[in-house]
Amino acid sequence: MDLNGWVRKEWPIFLLAVQFLTRLPVVVDYTPERLAATPRWYAAVGVLVGAMVAVIWWGSALFLPPVVAVMISLAASLLITGALHEDGFADACDGLGGGQTRERALEIMRDSRLGAYGVLGLGVMIGTKVAALAALPGFAVPLALVAGHAASRASAVWVMASSGYVRGQGAGRAVADGVDAGTVAVTGWTLAAVAVVWVVWLPIVPLLAGALGLIAGHYAIRRRFEVRLGGYSGDCLGAVQQCSEIGFLIGVLAVMQ
């Protein structure tokens, strides 16, 4: 397939990934096959979201203190994504924290009501993000946002590629089997492009430290839900994305403070 043919084939899939992961007003024809293929573009959607948030941070930082600019950019990210990943993270906190059995944990995670573990988890998560971003040097924040959003979504794709979906139905069921060699290739090239841009503008050591932090966040939460559930659910993917993003930011901050 030539480049033009590949773009014509993949562009609707990318748009559907944007529609699936954000609240951006994207119109695209839906097919189950296209939806199943969307994971290959999750990291690229992360680049898009991160870039939008970075622009909002930059505009806010021109006039406001760093902490306020970070909070505005974080609020913007919640609006852009519809708090999709944060909602999954909170549900996972409730289920893994309160469910004594696998079945009870999954039942709690399906409940739309927010419990104490979810509230506490969201508070710690949001507070950590704000503190880490506000403590970074201003010149590093935009790339940290873009790289963090992209790599953390790739982290969730890795769970999909290497673990099993535990629900018969759910938001994650339609894309659970969509990870193939093409997904790995597109995700890898997306992350490589982000890394190239990073090393052009910033030292590579913070990027490597961020990658280590992301891996730590990924496996810390992944071990928790795989032991309890025997696999993952859609809420677990949100938890992985959030923990991976926080791990990345902390890793970057550890060598740039």
Percentage of the residues of the chain whose pLDDT score is greater than 70: 96
Q: For residues 150 and 205, what is the distance between their CA atoms, to the nearest angstrom?
A: 18
Percentage of the residues of the chain whose pLDDT score is greater than 90: 72
From the CA atom positions of the chain, what is the Rg in Å? Answer: 18
Q: Taking a C-beta distance cutoff of 8 angstroms, is the pair 250, 124 a contact?
A: no
Q: CA-based angle 179:171:95, to the nearest 5?
A: 105
DSSP code per residue over 29-58: ---HHHHHHGGGGHHHHHHHHHHHHHHHHH
- Residue 44 CA neighbour count, 13 Å, CB half: 22
> Which pLDDT score, from 0 to 100, does residue 113 have?
85
**Least-confidence region, from 112-116, 159-163, 170-174:** 170-174
Nearest to 236 by CA among 93, 22, 82: 93
Q: For residues 213 and 132, what is the distance between their CA atoms, to the nearest angstrom?
A: 13
Q: Taking a C-beta distance cutoff of 8 angstroms, is the pair 48, 18 a contact?
A: yes
Q: What is the mean pLDDT of the chain?
A: 92
> Which pLDDT score, from 0 to 100, does residue 57 have?
98
DSSP code per residue over 148-159: HHHHHHHHHHHH
> Which pLDDT score, from 0 to 100, does residue 170 have?
60
Tally Cβ neighbours within 10 Å of residue 208.
14
Q: Taking a C-beta distance cutoff of 8 angstroms, is the pair 247, 182 a contact?
A: no
Residue with more model confidence, 99 or 141: 141
**pLDDT tier at 168, thresholds 50, 70, 90:** low
Nearest 10 degrees: Cα torsion 170, 173, 175, 178: 170
Helices (H), 99-230: 102-110, 116-135, 141-162, 181-201, 204-229
Question: Please, what's the largest Cα pairwise distance for the chain?
Answer: 53
For residue range 128-153, list pLDDT tens digits in order.
Answer: 999 999 999 999 999 999 999 999 99
Q: Taking a C-beta distance cutoff of 8 angstroms, is the pair 45, 146 a contact?
A: no
Q: For residues 89 and 80, what is the distance between their CA atoms, to the nearest angstrom?
A: 17
Q: For residues 80 and 74, what is the distance between their CA atoms, to the nearest angstrom?
A: 10
